Structures are given as C-alpha cells and as structure tokens.
Amino acid sequence: MNTTSNHIPKKYALEKPIHSNQYLVNGVLKEWAGDTAEVYSNIYYENGEPTLLGSVPDMDSGIANEAIKSAVTAFDRGKGVWPTMKVKDRIACMNTFVEKMKPHREEVVKLLMWEIGKNKQDAYKEFDRTIDYILDTIEAYKKLDRKSARFEKESGIFAHIRRSPLGVVLCLGPYNYPLNETFCLLIPALIMGNTTIFKPAKIGVLLITPLLKAFQESFPPGVVNIVFGRGRKIAAPIIKTGSIDVLALIGHSTSAVALQDEHPFKNRLRLILGLEAKNPAIILPDADIDLAVRECISGSLSFNGQRCTALKVLFVHKDVVDEFNKRFSAAVDSLNFGLPWEDESFLTPLPEKSKPAYIDSLIKDATSKGAKVLNTKGGKLTHNYCYPAVLYPVTKDMKVFHEEQFGPVVPIIPFSNIDEPLDAIADSEYGQQVSIFGKNTAQLGPLIDVLANLVCRININSACQRGPDIFPFTGRKNSAVGTLSVFDALRSFSIRTFVASKDNEYNNEILENLVASKDSNFITTEYLL
C-alpha cells in the first residue's frame, strides 16, 4: 500500500528524517562519527520509493569493547554503586525513568507505526502497557523485598535471605515488540542491580532514540549502555569477551545458539530467552464455532501474525471443519487492510521487505502439494504485503506445517482422532501455548492433562497471548529458557543470597547492631511502602 502526504494526519506525518548519531556508554551521550545505517519504512509514497525515516549508528567491535568495559566497571565485581545500592534508591531511579519516558509517548507511537507497521491502537497499547509493566515491576520488587526484610532461624542458625544481581546482562529485543518485550528484559535486569548493555533490533530501532536521554539522566554511569549495529558486529564481540553473565534475548533460537557458542565460559552464562513458537488451536466437535472463528482471527492475524504467541496452525475436527472453514475464510476476507494510522486498519504493511515473498513461497509450496486457498483474497501480493491466505487441507509434507510463518498465512488441518493434533504438538520443536475450543469436560479434562506436559499455557476458548504480565510467560523445547512475568523476571535476573549466623549472644548482638546502624544495604529489615 502506498500513500501521499495529503492522506497522512498531521499528528502522524513525518516532518523530516531522524538522523541520530548518539549512543549511551558510561553515562555519557556520545556522538558517533563512523558509518551509519539508513532506516526505511516499508510504507511507500505514491512515487513508489521507500520512505526514509532516518539513520542510526552502524557500530563495530570497538564500540562493543567500550560498552562491555563500561558495564563491567559499573558492576565492579559486585562492588559498584548500582549493585550495592539500597532497594528504595534503585526504585527511585526507575520511577525517575518512567516520568522521563512518558512525554515521548506520541513520538514513540508514531515511529512504531512507521517502522514496523503496527496499527495505531496497538502502538498506543504497546507504549502504555510498557509503562504499566515498569510500574508493576516496581510494585513486585517492593513485595519481594518486604518478604526478605526478616531473619529466619533453622537448626540454631539465623539467615537473612535476599536476592542479589547476577552481573552484566546483554539485552537483545525483537522487532515485533521493540519497546514492550525489550523492556520486559531490560527493566527487571536493571532493578535487580545488574548492569546492562542493550542493542535494539535492526527494525524498530529509531523509536529507542528519543529515550536515550531519559536513560542517561535516570541511572548511574555505566548501568545502562545502549549501542546500535548488527548483531554479528556488536553482540558477538561482546559475548566473546566472557564478561557477560546473562544473555537476555527475544528472537530466534538460531541467534541464541550462535551467541552462546561465542561465550568462552558457557557454564557461567545464564540464559533468559523468549524464542519462536508454533502455537496450535484445537477446535473440538462441540466448539462454539462463532467464538472459535473470532478468537482464531485475533490469534492468528493480529499484527499480521507477527507474534510468537500467534496461533500458527489450526487443527479442526472433521465434523465441523467445513462450517469452520466457511465462516473463518469469510471473516478473513472481511478484515480491513490499511495504513497504521487509519482507524479501521487491522492488517497493515509488513516491515520486512522479504516477508511477502516468503509467505508467497509457503502458499505455493502448500498448493503444489494439495492444499487450496479457501478465501477469495488469499495470497494477493503487493511489494509490502501478502493478503492472509487460509490454506486447507495442510499436511505434514508442507513447509507451512513445520515452519513458524510469523506472518499472514493460516494453515488448517482436519482431524478425526484427538491423538492426531496431540502427536503433532509432541513432535513439534516448540512448546509455548495451545488454544482449545470446546465445552465437554469429559473431553477437555484428559486433553488438558496431556497438554500440560507439552506446552506451558493452555487457553480454553480463547486465543494464545502473553498477558496479563503477572502470569508466567515461558515455553518448552525451542520456545523459551527462563520465565518472564512481572514477578518471575525478577527471579530470573537474580540469585538467592544469604547471610548466616549461629544463634549465640555474641553474633546476635552484632546482627542487632547491623540492623540498627543501617551500615549494610543488604542486611536490613526496612519495610518498603
């Protein structure tokens, strides 16, 4: 889809390209004088030319070394200001950041629309949800600290147990949620006392630049370091130093494996990974078809299916498959394709230039092996979009059965025996979530019992999703390592540490004096309100 300047609301129009040459290292916003990478939108103007949004630094291993030195120095083998700081003071820094972030809402939302094609409603939701996530993380940290503000006694030993930081964290976020999911790594890592290096994804990168100053002004030097460039030129050299204690990545398992292989001390590298998935839906014979269609539309095609939690394959019982296919195909064809800032846009241009051709290749592979495109608009191709195709019947010999399409194509597989979808889920390389549609508890109960051992979230009569953020977000097999939720992320980025003291008059007097004097930020019974 192309546009003209006259058709863009003034609020969302690009006044001029954003050429950012700044990066953040050791608490200083530095200017980059080297190579730059131009950032284009896949939303074209009517002249057929890609839209230049701006440029960012295209950094090399020299900056990688500068960033790692900064983060390592700030942590200072656990002696740094940030890891030894009082909990309430780290929280104060995080609250400062939130207040400095809020004024950039409109700018970040506009860039979300232009850079990755996220529709207006979802772009605002991503920004606001990120603010809520930070505030919820602060509250969760207070609760965690309150539970730690006491001594425990066992077998004649007093113990003061708290959570301590792990060290230096490398954060690599995804392009589809470049703000929210990136911050779901960065924020808990920071608040637990770790120092960080953050490299934005190659798409959805400009929207980070308005926040550089907020990071600089909110945290001590070296605690947050933000650099730009390709992973092989930045992330790999950082990992090779062996100074990274935690790799926090949301992306593809191949990237995670490649980076792990670069670390010289793999046993010391903690992994917190959100990876790909092939989440299925199972539509049982007694399912409410209208409800199943509605949820499967949202689940498979929200943000064009570019979500790890998207429904990427639908198993439909043969007794209802014809009716489901009829209603689902009609619903897909009724979806509105438009520009991100248009009020009714559900489907929007794809940010990756190669994605339409890839989706088209999946469709051609499936149709060459017996599948049909059920919906009228399915597979219609433009330079920046491939209209969602409903493919049926899909079989195991088709690429779309196995590959995570991460885009607008929906494979449907008929089944007569429940073991068919269960075997497919068990054989899959992924195990994040599943959606079940039905109401017969005699059928749902045993099905849930098996699926609980294959995936990490079972959604009954609803699409797969991440939220609410208070719930665990993780996966089995190639879908995740570690758990990301407001509470679980705090645990993932920290380790239990404690001070032990034998229960005797001499030691007890020392402990009482430590608590009363407030000479230690670790040994404290202060209760945070």
38 CA to centre of own chain: 24
pLDDT tens, residue by residue, 144-165: 999 999 999 999 999 999 999 9
3-state secondary structure of 404: coil
Q: How many C-alpha atoms does 115 have within 13 Å on its Cβ side?
A: 30
Mean pLDDT to the nearest integer, 317-342:
97
pLDDT band for position 529 (cuts 50, 70, 90): confident
When the pLDDT of each residue in the chain is averaged and rounded to a whole number, the result is 95
Measured distance CA(122)–CA(180) in Å, rounded: 11
Residue 377 in this model has a pLDDT that exceeds 60? yes
pLDDT tens, residue by residue, 415-433: 999 999 999 999 999 999 9
Residue 7 confidence (pLDDT): 78
Q: Work out the burial of residue 362: count CB atoms within 10 Å of its CB; fewer than 13 is exposed, 13-18 middle, 19 or more buried.
A: buried
Whole-number Cα distances in Å, 471 to 53, 131, 189, 456? 36, 17, 18, 11
Q: Which residue type sits at 477?
A: K
427 CA to centre of own chain: 25
Residue 306 confidence (pLDDT): 97
Residue 296 confidence (pLDDT): 98
Mean pLDDT to the nearest integer, 490-512:
96
pLDDT tens, residue by residue, 83-103: 999 999 999 999 999 999 999
Q: Work out the burial of residue 358: count CB atoms within 10 Å of its CB; fewer than 13 is exposed, 13-18 middle, 19 or more buried.
A: middle
Mean pLDDT to the nearest integer, 177-196:
97
Residue 49 confidence (pLDDT): 77
Mean pLDDT to the nearest integer, 179-205:
97
Measured distance CA(201)–CA(182) in Å, rounded: 9
Residue 46 confidence (pLDDT): 66
pLDDT band for position 325 (cuts 50, 70, 90): very high
Residue 45 confidence (pLDDT): 75
Residue 12 in this model has a pLDDT that exceeds 70? yes
Residue 4 confidence (pLDDT): 57
pLDDT band for position 2 (cuts 50, 70, 90): low
pLDDT tens, residue by residue, 28-66: 999 999 999 999 999 987 667 789 999 999 999 899 999
pTM of this prediction?
Answer: 0.95
Q: Are strands 18-19 and 195-199 parallel, antiparallel or unpaired?
A: unpaired
60 compared with 82, residue with greater pLDDT: 82
Percent of the chain residues past pLDDT 70, beyond the cut: 98
Considering only 42-46, 167-171, 186-190, 335-339, which range has the smallest mean pLDDT?
42-46
Mean pLDDT to the nearest integer, 104-127:
97
Q: Find tokens 């498979």 and name the residue.
A: 300
Helices (H), 21-104: 61-75, 87-101
Residue 439 in this model has a pLDDT that exceeds 80? yes
Residues 6+ apart with CB under 8 A from 288: 437, 439, 461
Measured distance CA(363)–CA(370) in Å, rounded: 11
Measured distance CA(84)–CA(89) in Å, rounded: 10
pLDDT tens, residue by residue, 456-467: 999 999 999 999
Mean pLDDT to the nearest integer, 378-392:
95
